[in-house]
Structure formats: C-alpha cells, structure tokens
Structure 1
Amino acid sequence: MERGVQVKRGRGFGVKNLGLFNLALLGKWRWRMLSSSESLWVKVLRSIYGVEAVVRGGLVDVECFKKGSSWWRDLGCLCNRDNGFNKGWFNEGVQRRVGSMGEWRNGVWCWLLNWRMSLFLWEQDEVNVLLNKVEEVSLVHGNEDGWLWVNDKNGTYSVRNAYKVLQNEVRNDNYLHYKRLWTSMVPSKLKCFAWRLFVGGVPTRMNLARRGNIGSLPSTLCAFCGELEESSDHLFFTCSLSYSVWQKLYSLFGIYSILPSSTGSNFLSHWHLFGEAKNFHQQWMTIWFVTIWSLWLVRNKIIFDESSFHLDEVMFIINLHSWNLLSARFKGFSFSFLEWVWNPSSCISYNSHRLYG
C-alpha cells in the first residue's frame, strides 16, 4: 500500500493517502479559526471551550483540548508535539503578522514594546538583544495583521498545499529509518519486528485495547513497571525498567546518554552513538535489534509465564543473542562468549578494524 500512495514521479500509483488528506482537511479548520476569529461559529467555540484556545488557535498545548468532542481533541493534536501523527506540523507552518506593537514614522516601522511592570537592569539587556533581532524583520506598509502560512508563496493555507507538505515530511522522516532497517545484517524476523514497532503494529496492551482484543489481560498497564499504560514507546524506551536496560547496555560500551523516547529517534540515536565510525554500524545496530527483541521476549514471559523482571537476566539474554548473531553474520567475529561479555566494545572495534582496516 505504501507504494500505491507515493506520487507518480516516485514510482508510485498516485493514489491519495487518505490519512494525510484528512490531516490536511483538519488543518483547514485550524486555519479558519485563526483567520476568521470573528465568525459566528468561532464565537460559539469560544463560548464553549474558552477564549485562549480559539483566539490563539490552540498553537500552544492548552487543557481545553483534552476534553470535548473527538473533532475538537483532534484539532488539539495537530499542534501537540507529544501526541498524534506528524507531531506539531501545523505549528511549524504558521507565523503571526503583527502590527500592534509599534507604529510607522516617516515610512519606517518603530517597535513600541509595552511591559506590564518595570524591567530590571538585567532584563533591559535582554530587551536590547530582542530589539536587535526583530529589527531584522522587514514589515510592509499597508498590510493588515493576520496569520501567514509559510509553506505557500501567497501565505494562505490550502488543503492541497498542506497535503504536499505532509507527504514530504512523511517521506523524509521515514526514508532514512526504513533504509537502514532493511539493509541491516540481522534475520528477517528481527527486521519485521522492528518495522512493526516503527508503524505502531506491535501488540502491546494499549494497541490491543484500541482494537478491542484485550481478552483476559487484567489491564493496559505496562507489564514491566505496572505504573503507566503499555504503549510501544513506553514499553521499549521510557519505562523505568527498560530504560535501565538501555543504560546498562550503553555503559558496557562507555556510553552515557539521555535516550530519545520514540522508536525512530531512538533508532537513529543508536546509529550515531558511535560517531563517524561507519565500520562499526552494522555490528552496532545488531545490538539494537537484539535489545528490542529481548525486551519483547521478557515482556511476554512476564505475562504468560508469570515470571518477574530481573535486570541481570535481561542483560544475559541480550548478550547471548547478540554474540550468537555477530558470530554467525559477521566474518572474522571469533571471540568467545566470555570475551564478548567482558568487553563487547573491544570485540566490535577489533573486528571492524580487522575487516575494514
């Protein structure tokens, strides 16, 4: 289906992606809330949900978007970077044309910034820095205040333009992930599992609940910590227990880093943690695939065999599967399991230099 929704020049069939098209249509409502703030329907929304959400268009995450109809909550997700598809894409395309904070003098715009209270001396220095930056902005005499859609040369939002923006974002964001995923030197089983994780298809408790297939599972809480709902990102990356696995794993390689919370970001972050040492990447990425697969095996064992989470046992599983894969898939990787457990970083470094020089 992915092939079908690509544009024709990208060797696709040119079939419209309905998911992206619906997002573009939803963005039209957000745009009209900004550009037609005095319309009757906007006033009705203002009376229901509050002035802040309607006047500002919800360009910041406000509480009112957490309740109401599904249409209203979806509007909030368009600009919410923590939820929804193509997080925050609408915010990035909208700019404010402002003319109420200054005046024209002899054809030259002068900024007049009014503050609710007197500024401290150190704050005045920051104001001077701000004025130096805004003076670089050229204003046009006669233009009214309003909102600007930066992705269109006329500054006006259109569904067609927004759909093109979303198409480009989806291709650019996912292309590098999938290219590196499918060219990795791991078994197809691990590649397919990682792909399902990328597209949100791993049957976590949250995903099963959305599909109505929760069955006899007691709740949607994480099988590891039992504190938060078991989404894919939580289970594999942000849960306190899975996070400890990643930190323990990285410490074996002398790496200490704050982990990204999403699958794609974590995947690319792991790729770059060895810097520009490209010779290491295939072996290094094998460990990422093995880690997510091992976490999934441990999660299922906890649910179906009523076992418990033990960090040392999880690390043993990761070390064992990593060593087996590296020994089978990479020429010259002839280290013993004890050598691998004792110093995995040296094993990968030595083998890479021996193969690639």
Structure 2
Amino acid sequence: MADIFRGSFTCKIRAGDSILLWKDPWSDPVLKVKAARLHSFALREDVSVSEFVNRHNLAEQFILPLSHEAHADLVNLEEELNEIQLEEQSADVWKPIWGADHYKAKDFYMHCFRECLTPIHISAIWKSKCMMKHKVFAWLMFVDRINTRDMLRRRKYNIGSDYSCLICDTGATEARNHLFFTCTFSTRCWANIGIAWNDDLQLEHMLEEAKISWSKPLFTEVLILGVWNIWKVRNRAYFEGEEPSMQTWQRQFSQDLNTLSCRVKENHQGFIKDLITKIST
C-alpha cells in the first residue's frame, strides 16, 4: 500500500530528507528499478536521499565488495546526485499526480479506484437520506454479509441443524433473498407499501425493476428502512421469542419514516406522511 501511496505523487528534491533514495519517484524510473543491480547490494532499503549523500562510507551503504555491474550503477548514481544541490532549509516538494495542489484522502481514493464501476444500487445507498447505521446495514445486506442462518452455516458456526427462516413457516432456508424479499412475512410487508419483487432476477435487476414499477420518490430510503425493520422483527423472534407481527413491523417502519421526514427535502415530507398513513390503515 505504501508503494501505491508514494507512486501517486511526484517529488522534487530540496532538503532530500523526506524522499527515499530507492523507492520515491525523484528519478524516472524509481532508482531500485533503474539501478537494480546496485539496489541488490543496499543495506538500507528506506534510506533518504540526504542520508545517502551525507554518508560517504560505502560500507555503511552497501554490502561490499560490489559487482562490476553494481559499481557501474554506483558511478551513474553519483553523477546524478552531484547535479542536485541539497537545500537544508527548504522542504521537499510533493504533488499528487492527479494535478491538485494539496492532498486529500478523497482524491487519493478516487484516483486508486478511478476505473472501478460501482453498482447503481450500492452507490444509491450512500446517497440516500437514511441514518448511517441504516446505510451500513443495507450495504452489508446487499453484499450478503448479514448473519442469516445460511450465512452462519457458510461461516462454519455451530448453530445446530435448523437453518429455516424464523419469520415464516415454509421451512425455507433463511438466506438473504428469502428473508428480505420472498419470505411470506416479508412479502406481506412489501405489499403493504405497494412493492413487489421478481425473484427470478439477480438482485441488482430485481431492485431496478421494482423501482420502475413502484414509480414513487425515495425508493432507496423506503427499501433500506423496510429491510432494516424486517431484520429487527427477525431478531426479536430469535432473541426474545416474540411472534413475528405485521403490527410490530408497521409501527417500527413508521417511526423510522417519521425520523426520515426530518432529513429529506420539504417536497418529499408530504409523501412520507401519506405513506405512514397508508401503512397505519
């Protein structure tokens, strides 16, 4: 990771105390590639340019004796360093290769992953108006990292031999898609707000089709809060022995929607109020 980080910058030697002789891009290519034979004799991988210049004893820098090829690299290196005048009172100059004057972690992240395409349903999570705990839960659910019984089995947890869904009586395995989308209890929850799922499709396409079919605002927020409260009903059934109840899901879902109404634009607050009314009737 350090090589990726340093390789994302250009540098210009001034004092030379923050620039590594072998690894940093003061030379093109970096010196450990350019003078690979000499580098193989180096005693210190992370010596700075200033440290190297100020130490004139070769025995402190290299395993001696050097090979003829390594010695030739050393001669070339000394010629290159002789052309550089160290300025002890000046800081070395570092600049990101993406052109900014100052480093920002966000810019570094975007540079490293500039060729990665984020699935639409994943990026929609972080753009939603839900609270962060809901966003994180939704992300874990979408990438199939929620501890359903099927997930615990795949992780080799000893949870017995019963892997059936806790909120329906069909005997189906409690896996991600079943629990949140196709379980009889979950299906009733989604029907209560007018969302239907085509479980013949892959998750990403299933979400896209449902969003188009539903054709109302705040689809991602409603989806996140819906699965969050299905999970809470499931956990109450497991940890507290509480019978799964539509009334419980509706009450909790309505409470979260009410909180959401304080986080969305004013023109969406009326929609949330109408949705809460629809759920309650």
TM-score (norm 1): 0.41
Partner of 2:256: 321
Partner of 1:331: 266
Displacement of 1:284: 3.2
Q: Match of 1:260, as an amino acid? A: D
CA contact (8 A) 1:286 1:326 kept: no
> Which deviates the most, 314-323 or 199-208?
314-323
Is 1:200 the counterpart of 2:135? The answer is no
CA separation of 1:317/1:189 partners in 2, compared to 1, >3 Å: closer, same or farther?
same
Distance 1:194 1:334 in 2: 22
CA separation of 1:187/1:266 partners in 2, compared to 1, >3 Å: closer, same or farther?
farther
Which blocks of at least 5 consecutive residues in structure 1 are unaligned? Answer: 5-170, 345-357
Partner of 2:229: 294
CA contact (8 A) 1:224 1:299 kept: yes
Q: 2:276 aligns with which of 313, 318, 341?
A: 341
Partner of 1:152: none
Q: How many residues align?
A: 166
Displacement of 1:312: 2.4
Q: Match of 2:147, as an amino acid? A: P
Partner of 1:176: 120
Q: For 1:203, what is the secondary structure of its paired residue?
A: coil
CA contact (8 A) 1:249 1:315 kept: no
Is 1:273 the counterpart of 2:213? The answer is yes
Q: 1:237 aligns with which of 159, 163, 181?
A: 181
CA contact (8 A) 2:261 2:272 kept: no
- CA deviations on 1:224-252 (whole Å, 9 max, x unpaired) are 114111000010011111111111221xx
Distance 2:272 2:136 in 1: 27
Displacement of 1:267: 2.8
- CA deviations on 1:247-305 (whole Å, 9 max, x unpaired) are 1221xxxx6x4543654334323432344xxxx53x33211110000000110000000
Greater fraction helix: 1
Displacement of 1:340: 5.0
CA separation of 1:337/1:188 partners in 2, compared to 1, >3 Å: closer, same or farther?
closer
Displacement of 1:335: 5.8
- CA deviations on 1:177-230 (whole Å, 9 max, x unpaired) are 222222112112111111111211000001001112244x66211111141110
Which blocks of at least 5 consecutive residues in structure 2 are unaligned? Answer: 5-115
CA separation of 1:312/1:265 partners in 2, compared to 1, >3 Å: closer, same or farther?
farther
CA separation of 1:249/1:214 partners in 2, compared to 1, >3 Å: closer, same or farther?
farther
Q: Match of 2:211, as an amino acid? A: W
What is the RMSD of the two structures over their aligned residues, measured on CA atoms? 3.2
- CA deviations on 1:125-160 (whole Å, 9 max, x unpaired) are xxxxxxxxxxxxxxxxxxxxxxxxxxxxxxxxxxxx
TM-score (norm 2): 0.51
Distance 1:260 1:218 in 2: 26
Equivalent residues in 2 for 1:105-184, closer than 5 Å: 175-184=119-128
Q: Match of 2:157, as an amino acid? A: N
CA separation of 1:204/1:314 partners in 2, compared to 1, >3 Å: closer, same or farther?
same
CA contact (8 A) 2:134 2:225 kept: yes
CA contact (8 A) 1:270 1:285 kept: no
- CA deviations on 1:75-114 (whole Å, 9 max, x unpaired) are xxxxxxxxxxxxxxxxxxxxxxxxxxxxxxxxxxxxxxxx
